[in-house]
Amino acid sequence: MNNNQFVTELSDINTNFAQWYTDVILKTDMVDYGPVKGTMVIKPYGYAIWENIQAYLNDKFKKLGVQNAYFPMFIPESYLKKEAEHVEGFAPEVAVVTYAGGEELNEKLIIRPTSETIICDMYSKWIKSYRDLPVKMNQWCNVVRWEKTTRPFLRTSEFLWQEGHTVQSCPEDAETDTQVMLKVYSDCLKDLMAIPTLTGRKTEKEKFAGAVATYGMEAIMKDGKCLQAGTTHNLGQNFAKASNIKFLNKDGELEYGYSTSWGVSTRLIGALVMVHGDERGLRMPPNIAPIQAVIIPIASKVSGVIEKCNEVKTLLETANMRVKLDDSNNTPGWKFNEYEMKGVPLRIEIGPRDIEAGVATVVRRDTHEKSTLHLNNIANEVADMLAKIQANMLKQAQENLNNAIVETDDYNTMVEQVNNKKVALCYHCGDMTCEEEIKNNTTIKTRVIHSYDTTHKCIYCNKPSKYRVYFGKQY
Amino acid sequence: MNNNQFVTELSDINTNFAQWYTDVILKTDMVDYGPVKGTMVIKPYGYAIWENIQAYLNDKFKKLGVQNAYFPMFIPESYLKKEAEHVEGFAPEVAVVTYAGGEELNEKLIIRPTSETIICDMYSKWIKSYRDLPVKMNQWCNVVRWEKTTRPFLRTSEFLWQEGHTVQSCPEDAETDTQVMLKVYSDCLKDLMAIPTLTGRKTEKEKFAGAVATYGMEAIMKDGKCLQAGTTHNLGQNFAKASNIKFLNKDGELEYGYSTSWGVSTRLIGALVMVHGDERGLRMPPNIAPIQAVIIPIASKVSGVIEKCNEVKTLLETANMRVKLDDSNNTPGWKFNEYEMKGVPLRIEIGPRDIEAGVATVVRRDTHEKSTLHLNNIANEVADMLAKIQANMLKQAQENLNNAIVETDDYNTMVEQVNNKKVALCYHCGDMTCEEEIKNNTTIKTRVIHSYDTTHKCIYCNKPSKYRVYFGKQY
């Protein structure tokens, strides 16, 4: 839905990051607000990013033996209550259907905030023997968590995600699933989205409601805040016991299964915006960009220009690149601005002088560098340049991540640094009450555990340390 | 989730088609019942069919300039009421969220039974000028229609579908969208699923609530009943007026847009089962089969057998075929039965004697014919055979369709034939009251209009005919 107005300015990214974020996602047609408070419409330019994430993950899942399936959205209220910690964690934010088909329902239906309870219930019907294990299923679906404060992609009442659920016959294999999937996620962010992450186990206080252990993947935004970009949960036998998933093991004994769950959501799109964006708008890493290169004709009415643009488009598409030719009546200047704001990694300008010289003029979105490529080798040279852009954007993001981390043993320094857009790596005792006090005093939470270390002192209470952990502000 | 029991028998397809259907979809692990009445779990073997449909349609949509997006599931109650016929059509079957986040909501939220109202509302914000048109978006999502009588895939409280929504600047282009999409759907059924269909306009009585014209695509099941497999709707300006979608046309005047919508759902999976299945179970056309060929080792402990099976698997996969090697401990006989019931188009047996002779023994699911293929050219020969199976299954289904249709000018004959597993092609006056009376007397409804013809008499009331229309019983 282009309209022919000249692009409006964005808010300043350095002084008003929150408003910059809202401006850029709305103005680039990634998203709009839905009519119900807290909901979003994911527009095609945003949804295409999600589809690229889906394609990447589906491929990885398949290679790991995970099969896609679909489970009902409606969960009987009684199911959610099966696992004590789980219901406590989710009850405050569920949406509830109380009547349907013109009648009040006998049992209220919860719209899934996550599907552990219903999937484990089905698994309990299907799993009888160790020969049925492992079970590895995934679903792509919508979930609902009624949030007070919402922002498109980052926190919305309804969002899209994938949730994988496995059952294994021993705790070790469940732990392996949990860690393998964390690696799949962090590879996805790194290789597809050029986003480096901090990965590790979450503290007891921050783990998923009902899990034995939760692992998290944290991406650091340009304002220094952390965004939990994905989690994997080792559920131990907790949900198996709640749902009665029992299998006959090799010794002929009935045993509860060992389950895991893991998910990433459309908030990854928000991470993409906030890790790579700059004062001019979005910057899309080529591997995930809905449009990898935009071709803009210069002096398009001169004979041969549009033809050459179309020829280049076909060559790039044949080489599996995602290309757009903008042959609209807007001026080249308008188009430069538009696709810069949309973050298209490479702009290809083709005019009469370029054609005469046998070249195309290209401008990189990541460095703003202008150069020329040979028309007679254009597909190869564009592919090379996209690979360079991808690598450079990962390098830039890695530098930002490295620069964001400070190591300190002093509590006041930690608080000061985190309030100053940093992530602090500190020793902590692992005590939930201690962690809670820090949070209550500062709104600062632990992100993921860096490493286990009992030779130091807790940054807050001075008791012996249990681990080093990242502290940060969060989205 | 295999378990090592020998396959249980299915109900007889000829004398108890309904029970055969339920047996086959449950026993082949396509689906299971969800805990909430009327819901279903789509298991991996069923979901893979849906994914193949998605891939086919996404490709076609993209070529037609349709972009995927995602709109919220929650529709404010007031939205549904905007279009008078629409609310009347859907009000009885909606599910309603009345509280969320621990609080009663000010306005009740309808879970989308279809998204015209919310999508048109968003379109009214986005569309300003003829330059913004056409808009063509599609979403893959779940929808909820609370039904009294449900059957997996065919009619469930929650189901998956795609719904496309376009807005055009003139009525002709909206009509074109409506008809082009009907062709996309019927091509999908024919080319991918080997299902021939009857396509045409629905009568005024049977059209979509709020549409100017609805077109339908009817597939004929093995029991002679019709299944509405997809519909496309020309909504005229009805929803544009209800949602205030106005654009400045080329003459500088404000005009309401012309919208369309079109969808197919997971009920297509039910159609696949009921068009192709036989007394032994499913029969999957190769183009949509989750597993196109299954390799079964014979005397698998003999040296070289498993190695050869793996080699063939790799060759077929490299040639982009979907292949399974079943090297489990089950007997070959058990496996033959299992994959026959699952409808795998081609079974490839490889044993020591085959290897010695340089061949694989293959058995077609469609004809039960046994033959041998050359191991040194296996990928090409399997691909050829799959193409033959696909063509033969379409031919068989087309013959069944042709045989199901009877032409008659006599009302009693029509009723008798339709009750006897036929679809009747008859003249009708086009009067809604007349059509209603037929339905009330017989439960027989019109399916789609075959052709317009005013030179005959209505089969029921003897008034001049308006068209020839198919009468049938429906799923």
Residues of B in contact with A125 (CB under 8 A): 32
| CATH code 3.40.50.800 for A293-387 | yes
Q: Is A72 helix (H, G, I), strand (E, B) or coil?
A: coil
Cα angle, residue B70 at apex, residues B69 and B75 outer, rounded to 5°: 140
Q: Which of A41, A95, A101 comes nearest B122 by C-beta?
A: A41
Judge whether B272 and B179 are in contact, CB under 8 Å.
no
Mean pLDDT of chain B: 96
pLDDT at residue A5, rounded to an integer: 45
User: For residue range B45-100, what is the model confidence (pLDDT) as tens digits?
Assistant: 999 999 999 999 999 999 999 999 999 999 999 998 888 888 888 888 999 999 99
User: For residue range B212-261, what is the model confidence (pLDDT) as tens digits?
Assistant: 999 999 999 999 999 999 999 999 999 999 999 999 999 999 999 999 99
Q: Rounded to an integer, what distance in angstroms lies between the CA atom of residue B32 and that of residue B22?
A: 10
Handedness of CA A419, A423, A428, A433 (dihedral sign): positive
Q: Under an 8 A CB cutoff, do A96 and B94 touch? A: no
A405-472 fold: Translation Initiation Factor IF3 (3.30.110)
CATH class of B404-472: alpha beta
Distances (CA, A) of B209 to B113, B213, B234, B236, B242: 12, 10, 11, 12, 13
Q: Under an 8 A CB cutoff, do A135 and B39 touch? A: no
Residues constituting chain B: 475
Q: Is B388 helix (H, G, I), strand (E, B) or coil?
A: helix
The minimum CA-CA distance between A7 and chain B, rounded to whole Å, is 16
User: For residue range B136-148, what is the model confidence (pLDDT) as tens digits?
Assistant: 999 999 999 999 8
pLDDT: which is higher, B409 or B2: B409
Residues of A in contact with B72 (CB under 8 A): 34-36, 39-41, 158
| DSSP label at residue B190 | I
pLDDT at B1 over 50: no
Distances (CA, A) of B201 to A399, A463, B178: 61, 78, 10
Amino acid at B366: D
Distances (CA, A) of B244 to B83, B127, B135: 11, 10, 15
- Chain A nearest-CA residue for B33: A122
**CATH architecture designation of domain B293-386:** 3-Layer(aba) Sandwich (3.40)
| DSSP label at residue A253 | -
Judge whether B110 and B77 are in contact, CB under 8 Å.
yes
B164 CB burial (10 A radius; 0-12, 13-18, 19+): buried
Q: Under an 8 A CB cutoff, do A96 and B96 touch? A: no
Return phi, psi of residue A380, to 5°: -65, -45
Q: How many CB atoms lie within 10 A of CB B441?
A: 11
pLDDT at residue B387, rounded to an integer: 98
Read off the pTM: 0.96
pLDDT < 50: residue spans in chain A: 1-7
Closest C-alpha to B203, from B224, B231, B161: B231
Q: Under an 8 A CB cutoff, do B35 and A146 touch? A: no
pLDDT at residue B6, rounded to an integer: 44
Q: Which ipTM was obtained for this model?
A: 0.96
Q: Under an 8 A CB cutoff, do B109 and A36 touch? A: yes
Q: Which of B51, B67, B70 comes nearest A160 by C-beta?
A: B70
Is the backbone peptide bond immediately before B134 cis, with ω within 30 degrees of 0?
A: yes
* Domain coordinates in residue numbering, chain B: 17-276, 293-386, 404-472
Q: Rounded to an integer, what distance in angstroms lies between the CA atom of residue A114 and that of residue A75?
A: 10
Q: Which helix (H) or strand (E) holds A57?
A: helix A44-63
Name the pLDDT band for B8 (thresholds 50, 70, 90): low
Q: Under an 8 A CB cutoff, do A35 and B141 touch? A: no
Residues of A in contact with B118 (CB under 8 A): 34-35
Site from A36, A82, A122, A248 to mutate, B interface, most B CB atoms within 10 angstroms: A36
pLDDT at B298 over 50: yes
- Chain B nearest-CA residue for A146: B101
pLDDT at residue A81, rounded to an integer: 87
- Chain A nearest-CA residue for B118: A35
User: For residue range B419-472, what is the model confidence (pLDDT) as tens digits?
Assistant: 999 999 999 999 999 999 999 999 999 999 999 999 999 999 999 999 999 999
Q: Rounded to an integer, what distance in angstroms lies between the CA atom of residue B22 and that of residue A100?
A: 26
Q: Is A173 helix (H, G, I), strand (E, B) or coil?
A: helix
- Chain B nearest-CA residue for A158: B72
**CATH code for the domain defined by B17-276:** 3.30.930.10
The tokens describing B436, both together, are 């209603």
| Residue showing tokens 């498993």 | B306
Q: How many CB atoms lie within 10 A of CB B280?
A: 17
Radius of gyration of chain A (CA): 25
Q: Which of B44, B75, B158 comes nearest A73 by C-beta?
A: B158
Residues of A in contact with B73 (CB under 8 A): 142, 144, 158
The minimum CA-CA distance between A408 and chain B, rounded to whole Å, is 39
Q: Under an 8 A CB cutoff, do A36 and B76 touch? A: yes
Query: On the CB side of B441, how many CA atoms lie within 13 Å of its CA?
Result: 12
Judge whether A466 and A429 are in contact, CB under 8 Å.
yes
The tokens describing A467, both together, are 């681990």
Q: Rounded to an integer, what distance in angstroms lies between the CA atom of residue A447 and that of residue A435?
A: 11
Q: Rounded to an integer, what distance in angstroms lies between the CA atom of residue A127 and that of residue A254?
A: 11
Amino acid at A243: S
| DSSP label at residue B465 | P
pLDDT at B7 over 80: no
